[in-house]
Amino acid sequence: MVTEARPLAEITTEALKVLYKEIGIVDAVRFVNQYTTGFGDYTQEREQRFEDMTLGNIVSEIRRNKRPGHPARKEGKPRKAGPEKPS
């Protein structure tokens, strides 16, 4: 069976329509965003950002910036796996 190849733009449009219908627009966009290309040099940026920080400093800053109502988890207690909450 020989079929003619369709343009990629057409396939993409059809695939997005299926995703929107099956999982909703928000989850479809979140899914597609996994595959978009970022920019910059993350390794260089990370080294510059955390250059003068220890791991303890980084952990403290994360805990300080946590959203209210979401207390920091205690060390050594693994988080139970469950459905991801929308962000």
pLDDT digits (tens, 9 = 90+) for 30-81: 998 888 877 888 899 989 988 999 999 999 989 999 877 766 555 555 555 5
Quick one: how many helices (H) and strands (E) in the chain?
4, 0
Q: How far is CA 45 from the centre of its chain?
A: 18
The pTM of the full predicted model, rounded to 2 decimals, is 0.39
CB 20 within 8 A of CB 28: yes
Predicted pLDDT of residue 73: 58
Under DSSP, the state recorded for 78 is P
Other beta carbons within 10 angstroms of residue 16's beta carbon come to 14
